[in-house]
Each structure stands twice: as C-alpha cells, then as structure tokens.
Amino acid sequence: MPATLPSIPNGGISHRGHDFRHDDPRQRLIVALDVSTAAAAQKIVAAVGDSALTYKVGMQLYTAEGPQLIRDLVASGRRVFLDLKYHDIPNSVRAAVAEAAKLGVSMLTIHASGSGKMMRAAVDAAKARPELIVLAVTVLTSLDGNDLETIGVRGTVHDTVVRLATIALTNGCQGVVASAHEASALRAELGDGFAIVTPGIRTAGSSVGDQVRVVTPAEAIAAGASHIVVGRPITEAADPAAEAKAILEQIRS
C-alpha cells in the first residue's frame, strides 16, 4: 500500500486476550478484498476509511500481489485475515503458518479436514505471534448436503460442521469458519470461548453470487457469529463507507 493510505493508530483494535465478545462493532466486521491488484485493494481500503479495521486477503489477491501487500496493510494499522485455507501435510502447514506469523497477520485459515495432527502443527507455529488466531474451515458456504454426499462425506451439513469444529477446538484452534446456519448449533454445543467467522453474508436484496448458505449481517450475529466477512455488498457499493456503516448498525442492533 502506498504511503498515502491513511493509517489507523495501533491497528485500532485488540482481541483482548481472545475475548471475542466485542463492544465495538468494527471489531466484528471483516471486509473481503476480493480483487486482483494492490491498487484496487488500496482504493477499497481508502474508501471504507475507519468504518472497518480488518481486511481479508484471499487466494486471488495474494496470488496476484504476494506478501508485500500484507506488510503494507499491517504497516498502515489494519488487521489482516489471511484466508488461504492451508491444507497439506503437517510440516508444510507448520512452515506456511510460521511465515504468515512473521508477516504480522492477525487471523488465518486452515482446513479442519486436514486432520488433528495438521491443525496442531498450525497452532504450534502460530504461537510465535500470540495474537494470531488460527481458524479451521468446516464446510464451505458454497456447499450443501448434496455436494457433501457426492464427495463421500456422510451425515448432514450440520453434523459435519459440528464434528469438524469439535476436532478443531480439541486441537487448539481458536475458532472456526462456518455458515451462520450452523453458528447457533456450534454455540449451543461448544460454548462461547471461540471465534465463529461467518462468510456468505449478503445484505437484503443483494445477489447471492456463488454462495448457497447465505444470511444477513444481523442474522449472523444473532446466530452467534463473532465476526462476519462481507465482500461485494461493501466493495461494489457506490459508497463503500456508507454501506459499511449501515452494516455496523445492523451488528450493533
């Protein structure tokens, strides 16, 4: 990010020792930078301003721009949710997470289906940066029960999410990525001491795109999500800052 990007002093936020019950709704909003260039990402961040503090960098943007984009976002005081969904042998995932910790990311994703051993390796590597939250992806929000059956996964989406989340928390992950449709069940069965990051968020009337299990921001928070990931409703809005503020009001309510 060029130096012209306004900074947020001290990153603007803290996880308060991994207490995910935030009073400031900005702590719970993650804006997805699903673009292909640093310039496009910079434009979004500048347009959103201080209405959001955490930005998701996924496979598209990271593949196009590499780690320097992460360093620049962190240097500007933003928090980075690195969403690369690591899924490999434990040693490879351990090494990747160690490098992500050096970049200063605040959150990253691994696949819960990679096994408890793989998740433990990721958590161990993340200890180099105590504030780094390792999130286990349960079932992608683009999948439904028919998709799971096709690839040989037995049981419903709900059962699969709860099973994978239980394994993830048992192996040290601080949270999971799951649809809000499963968030209430996760809270009821596993308690409040972990993060639930919910993608597939769409505001009323917006296109669902390639997502299947979608909800509104208010529905996600009410269901028990600690964080919501919002992309196109903010980044493609005529006024991204205003759209972000409207979502913050939904979270606050």
φ, ψ of residue 85 in degrees (nearest 5): 50, 60
| Structure tokens given for 62 | 């990271």
Annotation says 85 is catalytic:
yes
In the set 85, 102, 127, 245, the catalytic residue is 85
| Distance of alpha carbon 30 from alpha carbon 79, whole angstroms | 9
Distances (CA, A) of 149 to 138, 146, 152, 213, 214: 15, 5, 5, 16, 20
Cα dihedral across residues 76, 20, 160, 121: positive or negative:
positive
φ, ψ of residue 53 in degrees (nearest 5): -120, -15
3-state secondary structure of 189: helix
| Structure tokens given for 94 | 């351990």
**Which residue in 8, 24, 6 sits closest to 16, CA to CA?**
24
| Distance of alpha carbon 15 from alpha carbon 132, whole angstroms | 10
Distances (CA, A) of 81 to 73, 107, 219: 11, 5, 22
| Distance of alpha carbon 71 from alpha carbon 1, whole angstroms | 8
**Would you name the residues annotated as active-site residues?**
85
